[in-house]
Structure 1
């Protein structure tokens, strides 16, 4: 019984299940309840027949009592089915419904088993035959109606058949033993058949679910295709094997200046006057590819416009061309831009490498050549990791020399026909042409080139007596790729490079089409963040810090972003984006300004200190300390009321500079705290050298404080702070258990939801006012 129940719990458990598994489970339970009336009705009829058959040989009171009990059980099972069907689909998959059904099945089986015990008599063979036949019939019926969950069928079959089987086995008669053995065989066979039927039902449900999901996925794919087709920034056109237009997107109608009615159904080969377009379509239908570029005169408006069009044949499963697709680009603006920049330099003045324009020109030529002769090539986009930090901390002159050295190393790796270019800042592109072999071999060759570049650029740079270590992040894409242009390839390589950065920097990553959506989302979010700074979408919340008595002794300023369309955006999403884009310095300065305004409005006796998070990039700015001094002077607040929280990351790359900045801040009067202590560098050697006021225990240790390892870490941090005479603040205190542990280990300050959630300035002032009033009353 316990094994069956554990099996049922495993089937009913929804946590950790995939969506498909939850659907299969729901269908199994629904089948049990949908078919419940049939076995219940058959059971009631069988019970009546059994009572009638035994009426003359069994006491009437026993028969009626058993029939009443059996009927109550049957009616309760029907009532349970009615209740089930009144539940929502979400509630129907709860574990209790399968458990209640199993209990009802067991009770029903037990009622029949009790009949086998009560009505057994070797004196009346003909009546015992009726009893055995009815019990066997009930068991056989259960196989067909209860097998969607095998454990439920077993819970009915065993108590139904086993009692009578045991009764026969206990009678010392060859006939009785034969009947007992037969019943045992019957029980075993019904359990095996039930198990097989259960597996068949489960597989059938799973197949139906998979088919349904596949059909939904196909519909979604079709809708996505249509959305992409209509949303494409290029004109897209689909024509059949006769050159008749079947479909086109809105951008193509805009380019052509023609209504859809004129474009759809247009016979390009017969009705279009431009022979060059006809020839390109003919090539696409005969050879699989056609290309057109030039000044096109619109049939509808007579307007002349420079167009570029790629015509690709569409092949069926047999490889026969059955139509084609066209990508049309109106590059009027590009022509004008090319005329404007025609006399500009084609080389980067700093590194003597080709610039973007020359790179695109060469890449376009190579791409066209690759399409003609079937050759393969690769575009590698690379960016120097943390170059901005080097540039900001060591000066632009040294940064320029670093770029020049990197350019020389790149040039030394090139073969004839390859090209290396500098796009902007620390971004470089390498085009590798004529990769030999299959596409897989070309992919391997491109990655090999990327590895060589990685090794060359990662070697130390010795500049003005300094040894610098800079690594590149590299993204690459093979070409040609369908109808994509050189610009498209650069975008793809750039996208792959950003994925390499996201994977941890100093990585190599090949382009996948799925990467583009994520990049576009991040770009849009970065633009929105810039607007947020200008349009007052940023908010500063405050989370109070309390002492052992629960009194507010400080607070931490926390940045929030209320997006006009997307609502509150998590700092975990936009802070890393701000750090990558350089916006973090502007965000920090805004927070500092708002925090100083807050301290202006709140008396120092109510809020002695306000903690502010400072990013490593902002902290290492040359004018950081002077900027802080100016803000404090402007606000007219005591500098001791400010506490800057910095992570251990500010100490990793430039420890000596960070120590100097901390000492300068201490001379101003500003306090320093190490935030999230224990999660990063965590070297005790630097703690002795830093002018710190406070350590903050990271919330990850507090949340898992019941874990012996985390508890030991927290105790160690508290002991270190006590030894170094530093204040200690535990972040993320959310439960009484966490608070009790911290109290017991002499932690004196706390921050977390157990006391206060982050709140706007009005909420903070109200909390301080309540505390002030309570303090007066206690006196």
Structure 2
């Protein structure tokens, strides 16, 4: 087998090819040389054979000489035929190892035929003929050495069989003359083998050098082709400049970003002609230290085009390591800036009024509280709530209500001074933040009252809404902050909210400032909280259930809704007692009871009858340290399939920390529960963070569904939610479906799950079980009907 290429040959290849590939290519070239040069030594050997036969013709029988010559010609013809067959083969077959073995066999047989001449034609009596024999054999051996050394061991295969018989004959004679000749043959043989080995290394190095050059040229062409393809088609602008800062080459994208032409940019000197000194500074830094960087809105001096971009400048060096120029990679930030602004606006601004939303308000207020605490000055928060806004929505429609909110927002902005903020908190609630007043509390209380009344006067003016002149008044509560050293955002907003509630109690369209002695609302809430605690122990709380249906009219699930019937006050709205419960730890107790009741119902009813039950969980309960463990315990206690239980959460779970909320939701998913996002679209971060949440279901808030047939904004929002949910692979349940028109709209947009008065109102457990029994008996009987 051929040996691997010597170290010198491997160095010639460099690191461009693996060692195994280098060996194969080198061997293939060595074998190719053997076959390409074969006709020359074969022809020479046949001519030498003819001369040797002529020299021996007077001494030896003619039949012997002719017979030997015929054998030699036959072997030579066979070798030439093998070479001809080799060259006729495709390149892939010529690379097979069998060709080297075949050649070696031919060389060995040819050498043996010449060795036979050393035996058959040897004569000591005729020294002239002996000398001719010796000269011809050594010459043939020398010729084999020069033509067979590309593979180091093939030359000895031919040389040794050719000379060893002659050497043996000379040694066998035992005369001084024969010993002298034998010594000369031995020296010549050693010289041939040594030179053959040396010649083999030279040939191998030459082959390796040629292959390396070919490989590197191919790699260079491929690399240049790749670079040119990247240069032409990359989404980045690429610009080459020389050591003097002159532009020497660039791609089409570079011209597009800079808004110029080839004629103007070619030869432009970045060091001297660039208007923005940061550009020339970055280029100079690259030419000195190797790298430079620019980021900003670049104004092209040639075209005047202003483009937000960043550029990376890198030096180009010659073989000596000297910087001879550079290349710039230019990225257009226009779309990125636009996308960032869009994302920022979606995350921090209300889409209806374009005012800052709750999230931006909370962040700004928190920062302002810290600043006022540090500098000793005061800030002001005014809490606004429109009086009887629900009546406008109900009587005139949500589109009119939305227009009212937009006009009111514009008036708010007109009233703002530099540095003030007006934000939409939710619904018809707005907050005005005046971040910096003086440190004189008494003077600022008077000033705050005056500012609130001026704001009230401006906002209560008549609004022109779709040709109707409507007068709407706000109730305004205000508070100065900070009141205490540990006052936080929640405290400030709660104080302003309490003051606003007192303004409504005073008769609406009023202004009221917060006072620490203002305890009426707080007392009422405490009384309700105590009554709520009693309601839990005295069985005043119970659950009602509202079925959820698919497009075929089948009940696929039920939502459990908490209800409270007070022994004195009668029915208490969930919006009232849930809000009170959420301000205390009562919500955890209420929802724990509700969760246990739901699991008990699931354990009692078979899955065929009640496939799935949904229960609402508040953010306060969800963020409790032992929430997941509690859910695990109640599931195990009742022995139900976790996939039959759906936990409904609201977007407020993301206010305190998205990462922690996602982790906890993944824990619930690992238990096997379903997760739904309730009231979707009303929060501040729906579109921004939705993709991070492991949700199974979205519930479109009823506020969007109720005016689908009359409000194009709500219709657009619902269409967007459905398309987005379909793209994310999340099921959608439309809440608050109350009529056939809403249902048709939702069905046409791909919504397949529904809940609302159009199908069923919330009902007691007994009625639910009857409904489920009837539904199971008539399963699959038709489409959705009233």
TM tier relative to shorter chain: 0.3 to 0.5
State the structure with bigger RCO (CA 8 A, min sep 6), 1 or 2: 2
Q: TM-score, normalised by structure 2?
A: 0.41
Q: Give 1 or 2 for the bigger CA radius of gyration.
A: 2
Q: TM-score, normalised by structure 1?
A: 0.42
